[in-house]
Structure 1
Amino acid sequence: MKIDIIGLLISFSYALDCVESELIHVTTGHAKRVAYMSICIAQEMEISGNAIQDLAACALMHDNALTQYIAEEYHNEPFIASAKQPPRRIGLHCIYGERNMRKYPFHTDMTNVILYHHEKADGTGPFEKKWNEVHLFARIIHMCDVLDGFFQADNYAEHVWENAKDFVKQHENTWFDSECVAALQRVAKEKYVGLLESGEFTNQLWEMLPRQKEEYSFEVLKDLTDIFAGITDYKSHFTSQHSIGVAKSAYRLSLFMGMDMDTAQKMYIAGALHDIGKITIKNDILEKPDKLTEKEYDSMKDHAWYTYKMLHQVAGFEEITRWAALHHERLDGSGYPFGYTAKDLGVQERMMACVDIFQALTEERPYKKGMAKEQAFAIMRDMAAKNWIDGEITEKLIDCYCTTV
């Protein structure tokens, strides 16, 4: 599959920012700012080419294990002891994050960059690694991560920039190594701070980091999308495993209906990402056990639009974006987010709608037991009779789950 993988990571980083903003109250755009600042520093060190692409990928994804981190550190769940795990809990999201990115198609050796992105130069970080034991890119990301917190994303005035540089200098050889500190001191304020202040840094980031489509295997893309399906599902424990369940069902139904393997694999990815827009919805709505108010329901419906917004910018994801984002459209035009009718909806969009409904009805959630398949089939046939979902595809789905294991 030929896609713009950096564009995909940017979509994912936006999702991570939404979780981070709601659950630990930091400003959005954090990952992109860290990526931009990291590239500025790296360029001062005369780093270029594939290495810059890989640095950007790690910077965008340095907090990719945020949900596991929150589970272990913020929700006070039992700490899993291991000789390989550090005694400080902050290391957990580094461990999970490194593991998640292990199969990412880096061009260069990025081993332990995410694992050690919280290490301090003097060895007082969570893994007690000194600066000369840590990959340069981990050290760059660490410094830029701290700096973004220092600026708090809304104050890039000159005195704040100077105070930030002073802060870094004061912590040279303790928090930050001298190589990174020297590079920061050389960066012009206009380059590092001016564009951040104006909000124009994203455009500059694209110039520094050209985006292009490359060929990737389904296995690589599946690994990445599974990570973010898990993040989406964790956002609300009521939907635990829903996204992966939809992905597997979409893949299964595609093959049952005689579609080629390429289409089935794209349907898997679309299913895994179909609810990524729920990242933007507040948890008090996602987890409300009672009927939503009209205002709350309108807010919930926004998730399909945000799924579209996040995915449509990924070159090579055009079909996947439609199949993922249109799963709540109805043939009679009463669905959302676009109010499309039957003439606007292709076979895959209709399939995804049926699969999503079937999965939601039959899966067990904390506030309800999953329905028996027969009961779900009856409800779906009724929806087809109302011209909400495709009747032929509904019957195909029923056949699929009645005749296959």
Structure 2
Amino acid sequence: MSPQTKRESGDLRFSEVLSALSFALDLVEGQPEGHTVRSCLVGMKVAGRLGLDAEMRSALFYALLLKDAGCSSNASMMSTLFDADDMEAKKKVKTVDWTSLPHAALYAARTVSPDGSLLAKAGKMVRFAARGQAESRNLIRIRCERGADITRLMGFPEETAWAIRSLDEHWDGRGHPDGLKGEEIPLLARICGLAQTVEVFFTAHGPAGAEEVARVRSGRWFDPALVEVLLAEAAEGGLWKDLSREDPQREVTRLEPDDRTLEATPERVDLVARAFGEIIDAKSPFTYRHSEGVAKVAVAMGERAGFGPDATRDLMRAGLLHDIGKLGISNRILDKPGPLTDEEYAKVRRHPELTYEILSRVGPFRPIAETAANHHEKLDGSGYHRGVGAEDLDFPSRILAVADIYDALSADRPYHKALPKEKVLGILREDSGTKLDADSVTILEDLINENAV
């Protein structure tokens, strides 16, 4: 058994990998760290009191951990719609009864064009008033459909996918994307919808706020029977105490059905890397397939350099996940067509640091965390986020840096059109041996000349 297989088998659950990665999804949704894990705890407590069988509880368990898997896919549209920081807009909407016109109008007034003129704000408000419901339905549809597709990519059952697809449906039929009503909404989706709202209000307002929102929205947003189950669990089962623990992830792990636990095998970890690569690329229309492209080029370069299977696999994962830190950057910055301000550029420069912070939480990804975070470092120390030099950059890091530049320059971005391959190679050659590793540039040039990438 190879060292890589050893570190990814036996005692590590697949759910632990997803729980650790959920921090990245919390970032995109503008939620405090642990939102996903705490929502999972709420939902599983409800499921336990309902007496759901192990198969249904397992499907629910992974739906709760992946409920926000599609959250990046509407970030750019949301930022454009509100002319605002998408993460702030998402954070605020979680506490709003957006099916109520007065509440929706107040939310829009507080959210749209925060830095714009009164005229710009008024224009956005008029558009929101005219198209608000249709725009909201579309934003939720994109998010929920994408989330469901990602769970299918990871091999989860249809019950899990449909729980995410119908996450924002409401008991009274006024939810999105399909306007399902009552028991038309899958039971697991009803539990997920209740759990995530209760967690948001618990974190913001404590147990009293969480119980109040459940009661007030019972029969409108939420299945009244599930609300009664939740309130009974809160009164008798110590729900709020468990949510307040320092490590709610440990409590969540205990609630996973024992006979349905999945091992974090190398193959499953690869699927997670690919799925999160898609989540990353969906954040901005200008990064479509970038992670996949970087991984493909980096793997080809690694194989040409003589890397073995484990080192090549690590390089693929690092390529797919190198930009995961961008999930914590606003689309107002990522999609900005003009020059960035110093403050905005400072935020962009932080994304490799966030990449390291996220990946180092995840057991199978700790070995690649530094390589992935090094993708903007340069041999002469002029890169970021750490500004380290050649002595601190191993060969995989050097390969990834070249692969990242090649793919970025070969695609359309807000600040430049895609460049021809020969021009990209010319730029790489200029920095070869000073900022970029000469051997890596030569390997890539050979692969391009052979039409191998």
Q: Same fold (TM over 0.5)?
A: yes
Q: In structure 1, what residue type is equivalent to 2:18? A: L
**C-alpha distance 288-305 of structure 1, shift in aligned 2 (>3 A):** same
1:4-403 residue pairs with structure 2 within 5 A? 4-21=13-30, 29-46=34-51, 52-70=57-75, 89=138, 90-106=140-156, 110=160, 112-121=162-171, 125-126=175-176, 127=178, 129=180, 131-149=182-200, 151=201, 153-157=203-207, 159-167=208-216, 171-172=218-219, 175-177=221-223, 179-188=225-234, 191-196=238-243, 200-208=247-255, 213-217=263-267, 221=269, 223-386=271-434, 388-403=435-450
Partners of 1:119 and 1:125 within 8 A in 2 = yes
RMSD: 3.5
**C-alpha distance 345-213 of structure 1, shift in aligned 2 (>3 A):** farther
- Residues 204-241 of structure 1 deviation map (CA, whole Å, 9 limit, x = unaligned): 33454599852142xx5555434433333343444343
C-alpha displacement at 1:260, in angstroms? 3.7
| Counterpart residue number, 1:80 | none
Q: Whole-Å Cα distance in 2 between the matches of residues 52 and 332 of structure 1?
A: 53
**C-alpha distance 324-4 of structure 1, shift in aligned 2 (>3 A):** farther
Q: Whole-Å Cα distance in 2 between the matches of residues 14 and 156 of structure 1?
A: 21
C-alpha displacement at 1:306, in angstroms? 0.5
Q: In structure 1, what residue type is equivalent to 2:169? A: E
C-alpha displacement at 1:197, in angstroms? 5.1
Looking at both structures, which has the greater relative contact order when contacts are Cα pairs under 8 Å and sequence separation is at least 6? 2
- Residues 132-179 of structure 1 deviation map (CA, whole Å, 9 limit, x = unaligned): 455432221121123235x1732105x3244245335xx24x543354
Q: Whole-Å Cα distance in 1 between the matches of residues 170 and 329 of structure 2?
A: 35
**C-alpha distance 361-28 of structure 1, shift in aligned 2 (>3 A):** same
C-alpha displacement at 1:309, in angstroms? 0.8
**C-alpha distance 71-316 of structure 1, shift in aligned 2 (>3 A):** closer
| Counterpart residue number, 1:83 | none
Partners of 2:72 and 2:327 within 8 A in 1 = no
Tell me which moved more, 317-326 or 67-76: 67-76
**C-alpha distance 117-235 of structure 1, shift in aligned 2 (>3 A):** closer
**C-alpha distance 6-68 of structure 1, shift in aligned 2 (>3 A):** same
Q: Whole-Å Cα distance in 2 between the matches of residues 6 and 113 of structure 1?
A: 17
Matched positions, count: 383
**C-alpha distance 10-214 of structure 1, shift in aligned 2 (>3 A):** closer
Q: Whole-Å Cα distance in 2 between the matches of residues 304 and 364 of structure 1?
A: 21
Q: Whole-Å Cα distance in 2 between the matches of residues 256 and 376 of structure 1?
A: 20
Q: In structure 2, what residue type is equivalent to 1:138? A: A
Partners of 2:17 and 2:264 within 8 A in 1 = no
Q: Whole-Å Cα distance in 2 between the matches of residues 74 and 330 of structure 1?
A: 32
Q: Whole-Å Cα distance in 2 between the matches of residues 66 and 146 of structure 1?
A: 16
- Residues 287-325 of structure 1 deviation map (CA, whole Å, 9 limit, x = unaligned): 444554554433222110100111111112233323312
Q: Whole-Å Cα distance in 2 between the matches of residues 5 and 330 of structure 1?
A: 35
Partners of 1:8 and 1:311 within 8 A in 2 = no
Higher fraction of helix: 2
Partners of 1:331 and 1:345 within 8 A in 2 = yes
- List runs of 5+ in structure 1 lacking aligned partners: 77-86
Q: Whole-Å Cα distance in 1 between the matches of residues 264 and 59 of structure 2?
A: 14
Q: In structure 1, what residue type is equivalent to 2:430? A: D
**C-alpha distance 20-350 of structure 1, shift in aligned 2 (>3 A):** same
Once the two structures are aligned, what percentage of the paired residues are identical? Answer: 30
C-alpha displacement at 1:32, in angstroms? 2.6
- Tell me, what secondary structure is at the counterpart of 1:317? helix
Partners of 1:327 and 1:352 within 8 A in 2 = yes
Partners of 2:167 and 2:190 within 8 A in 1 = yes
Partners of 2:72 and 2:280 within 8 A in 1 = no
C-alpha displacement at 1:95, in angstroms? 2.6
